[in-house]
Every structure is written in C-alpha cells, then in structure tokens.
Chain A
Amino acid sequence: MSESNGPAILIRGAHKRYKPIVGAPQRDAVRGVDISVAPGTIHGLLGPNGAGKTTTIKMLLGLVRPTAGEFRILGEDSTRPEGRRRVGFMPEQPYFPQHLRAAQALRLYAQLAGVPRDEIGPRTTALMERVGLQGREKTTLDAFSRGMLQRLGIAQALINQPEVVVLDEPASGLDPVGQRDVRNLMLELRESGVTVLLSSHQLSEVEAVCDDVTIMNAGLVAAEGDLDALLNVEGRTSIRVRGLEGGLPARVAELASEVAVTGGVSVFSVADETVRAVIDAVDDAGGRVVSVTPVRDSLEDYFARLLATTAEGGEDR
C-alpha cells in the first residue's frame, strides 16, 4: 500500500537528550537509534523498561522533540503533522475523554483524521465489531473496563484505514482471548499490506507475529534483524528420530550432541551443514526421521542474554 519504494518506517540517528533546568545531569534516553521497517511487515520493538522504546516511538510521532535524527513514515517527515495522516497509533494504556460514548469517540477521531463524513458511520460499526465491542457503541467510556478501552484504542488507531500502524503494548490489559484477537488482527493487517510497528514486553506475542525485531537497551539498539536469524544463534539443527533401538549409528553419534532418548524417540542436534548426511545415516540404519527443526533460542533466553551484555542503565519514558 505504500507509495514509496523505501522502508515504510525509517528512523535514522534518533537521539534524545533530556536537559534538566537545574541540578541533575543531562540524560540521553535514546542514542543514535536506527530502525528500518519494510512495507507490509510486522516489526517488533523490544527492550526492558528504560530502554528508550517509548521515547523512540514518541519521537517518530512528533510527541517528543528529537535532539537529533531523521524520522520518516511512508517517505514523509513524521515529526510534522502532515507526515502522520496515514498512520494509526495506539498508545500504551490508551485514555479517552470519559464523557464520550464509544461511537462518539470514534467519530471524533475519524473527523480529526479527515475521514469522509459518509464513511464514518459504517467504519465505526465495522471497527467496533472487529475489536469485539459490537453493541457497546452507546456505552459511555467511563463504564468501559481497561480491556475494553484497549480494544477501543485499537479501533481508533484503525479508523483512518492507515497504511502504517504503531502499537505500543496492544495486548496489555487484555485477557488471553483478547490477546489472541489482537495477534490475529495484526496478522490480518499484514495480510492487507499494512505495516505494523509493535512495541511489546510480551515476547511470546512478538515471537508469534513479528517478521523482524529491533531490541533496544539503555537507549541503544542491542540487536536487530530477522527473528529466525537472531534466535538460530548456534547454526545447529535439532533432529528427532524413531526406530533406533540399538542407539545412534556411529556416523550420527560422532556428529550429534545434546542427545536425549525417551520412549523410543531420540533427540539430538547437529551442525546445519551435516543434516543431509545425518538423515541419510538414520535411513540406512532403519530409523525414521520425525522432525528436523533449526535449534532456536527461546526469545526469552536470547533477550535475557543480550541484555546481560549491555548493562548500562536508562529509564524509559
């Protein structure tokens, strides 16, 4: 859906320095962050509290003034209002004017986003249904639970049919069904060509939906890239086989490591380049290959290990 051929979101050299008026020293919340998000992908932004994720997103959306850096969405300077017209944003724990009814709130945001008058009603109805709030159009927002406000936050982010959506902790406060709905919604958005930048603490959510990730720590990019490539850190493949009652064939045994045998199933890992030879050897020995999967770190383990190596402090804003 993007008109430009470049990245849907481009952040280059993002830097934010907070200068207290008196007393306390200057603090760099974000230091030279580069993020590039390809069109039609879901890009995860990860990091512990204080990593600078929220500050980076706020700079991208013109809510915080960058000290330095370039911020572009669909090729336009997103720190300027006109550069944000094709963007949907759901802040962490979205708040709304409490006196409004749900449909009134969506109408307000639709008007602000320049949605044609005759399209506001149908879009409101469709979005309320899409986020699971059908029948709540006339409920005032002070009667909404946190999860319902979260769902409405997603609806307002989509009211202008954006080409780029920035979601800050979209599943926060949702029950497991709600979290699944949000995950499916993000996948649907990607299917329809929408680019999603997802900031989240929920690693399982990121692992389930993201194509690429940027991991931040202490205001810096600690790691970035394709999730599979990041987690397949050891270049090894895990193989499960059945029918090798006599143990692993000698050719396999000398290549395999981390061997475990339970209930007639042998599980072991081998270097990626030896997979073909190992499978042939298992076949020759009369065994049956059950699965061949790349050895992946869990995102949790990878995340924890990465953060341990970048131990400088910082505070998220």
Chain B
Amino acid sequence: MMSRIWPIALAVVTDSLRRKVVYVVLVFAAVLAMAIPSLPSYGLGIEDAVYREVALALSFVAALVLTLSLSANRVPSEVERRTVYNVLAKGVSRAEYLVGSWLGILIVTGGAIAAFTGVQQLIALARYGDPMWQLWQGALAVWLEMGVLSAFAVAVSSVAGPVVVVTAALAVLFVGHSRSTLLGGEGALALKPFYPSLDAFNIVNPVAHGTGVPPLYLLSMLVVFVGFVAIALAVAVWLFGRRDL
C-alpha cells in the first residue's frame, strides 16, 4: 500500500515546491518575524513572551494560507485535468490516492512550518540570546492542526470546488476553536464530549510563557490528530469512492 501512497505524496511535494505561493508565504512570514521585535508592546518587559506568542500566531496564519492553497484545489484540478485517470488505472485505489495527496500536503506544510520556526529561532537567538526551543512545541501543534484541516479540506474537495473547500475549512477552524463560546451555557454541557474541538492544539499560552507542555500532552495531541485525520480521510474515501470521474 505504501508503495503506491508514497509516490503520490512525493509527486504532490514536487508539484507544491514549484508553486510560488509556498515561497511567497515563507518570505512573508520571515519578514514579519523579523518585524516582531519592533511591536509597540515591547516596552512592557515581557518581550520574550510577546515574541513567542506573535511568532506562533504568524506560523499559524502562514501555515493556514499554505494548507488551504495546497489542499483546496488538489483533487478538483486532478479530476478536471484527468491526471487522476492515469493514476487510478494503474491499480491505485481511490483511498491510496487521497491518502497520498493528503500526505504530500502534510509534508510540504511540515517543511514550511519547520522553516518558519527555524527563522524565528534565529531571530530569537540574535535578539534575545535565547533559541526559545519551546517554539518547536508550538510548531508541532500548528502542524498537527493543519494536518487535521488539510484532511478535512481533502474530504470536501473530493466532491466540491476550491471556494466551497476554503469556506468549509475556515468554518471548521472557527467551530473547532469556539467550544466554550458555542457550548458555554449550562444546558449544553452534556454535548461537550461530542464537540469537534481543535483546542487540543492550542498551546499558545504555555509556549508563550516559556513553560511548554509535558511530553504526555504532546502524545495526547498526537492521538487527537490521528483520530480527526482518520475520520476526515474515511469520509473523503467514502465520498470520492461514490463519485463518477
């Protein structure tokens, strides 16, 4: 199975690396990271915390732009241009095709987030003399959340066009981080266990304040990631499997 998934993922990576959006986002994020120390709140004596918080937010936004741009049109364009015919006719299952596409997007996003974080570390080292290793925990959380989001985007894109995919993905992001707002009332408490919350990936505060999160938490975050991705890709396979190409 992996012998077919892996070439598809690598083809997605190669294709993505030729897209200008990857480099534009990378450069833009790097420039903004360099500008963080000039923020006005820097006179308050909490420079390190502010830097980490803004750096994480920057990584999140850049990764979000990248994830949506890579995943929204991946499957629709392959179906429209019929490049998917050559792939499926080789005995590749639709599930392998979708998982390979998602894996490729995950790899590119991971590489980009790693690059952002590397640049942010260099700036932190130059500005504060501290490499701020906690940023990598935040980067991992962002990456995993983007992995969930791209799996959801791939699921929607297997039956819908890019505009619908982006709208749906942003809606999921909003809903995923609004559990306390949407289910804040006492009457809705019982629903909380079923709420598709992405808050598990929100570790901005511990990272910003320098404490980080324990390894067990990182592990549980990984479990949440696997669970959500499995559900999203299962839905994707079900939807795509029913589609006439």
Contacts and interface: CB of A to CB of B under 8 A. Distances in A.
A91 B82 contact: yes
A85 B15 contact: no
A100 B90 CA distance: 18
Contacts of B93: 81
Contacts of B3: 111, 114
A41 interface: no
Interface in A43-70: 58, 61-65
Given A63-B245, A64-B245, A111-B3, A84 B90 contact: yes
A233 B18 CA distance: 58
B92 interface: yes
Interface string B208-245: 00000000000000000000000000000000001011
Interface in B1-46: 3-4, 7-8, 11, 14-15, 18
B91 interface: yes
Given A81-B91, A112-B90, A112-B92, A63 B83 contact: no
B86 interface: yes
Interface string B87-109: 11111110010000000000000
A93 B3 CA distance: 27
Contacts, number: 82
B89 A87 contact: yes
B7 to A, nearest CB: 4
B89 A63 contact: yes
B45 to A, nearest CB: 50
A302 to B, nearest CB: 31
A273 interface: no
Contact of A95 (B11, B82, B96): B82
B245 A89 contact: no
Nearest to B96: A81
Interface in A191-206: none
Given A99-B15, A99-B18, A112 B245 contact: no
Contacts of A87: 89, 91
A62 B90 CA distance: 11
Contacts of B88: 61-63, 81, 84
A269 interface: no
A84 B94 CA distance: 13
Is chain B's interface secondary structure helix, strand, loop, or mixed overall? helix
Nearest to A113: B90
Most buried by A among B14, B86, B87, B88: B86
A82 interface: yes
B18 A112 contact: no
Contact of A113 (B11, B91, B244): B91
B174 interface: no
B85 interface: yes
Nearest to A83: B91
A58 B91 CA distance: 14
A1 interface: no
Nearest to A95: B81
A125 to B, nearest CB: 19
A104 B11 CA distance: 10
A104 B18 CA distance: 15
Nearest to B244: A64
A204 to B, nearest CB: 26
B33 to A, nearest CB: 29
* Centre residue among A18, A62, A64 by max chain B CB count within 10 A: A62
B98 to A, nearest CB: 13
Interface of A: 18, 58, 61-65, 81-85, 87-89, 91, 93-97, 99-100, 104, 108-109, 111-114, 153, 156, 160, 166
Given A18-B244, A61-B88, A81-B96, 10 more contacts: A63-B244, A65-B242, A84-B90, A87-B91, A89-B89, A95-B81, A100-B14, A108-B7, A114-B3, A114-B91
Interface of B: 3-4, 7-8, 11, 14-15, 18, 81-83, 85-93, 96, 242, 244-245
24 contacts: A58-B244, A62-B88, A63-B88, A63-B89, A64-B244, A64-B245, A81-B91, A81-B92, A82-B91, A84-B89, A87-B91, A89-B85, A91-B85, A95-B82, A96-B86, A104-B14, A109-B86, A109-B87, A111-B7, A112-B92, A114-B91, A153-B86, A156-B86, A160-B90
Top 10 A-B residue pairs of the complex, sorted by shortest distance between their CB atoms: A89-B89, A85-B91, A111-B7, A81-B93, A112-B90, A64-B244, A91-B85, A113-B90, A63-B245, A84-B91
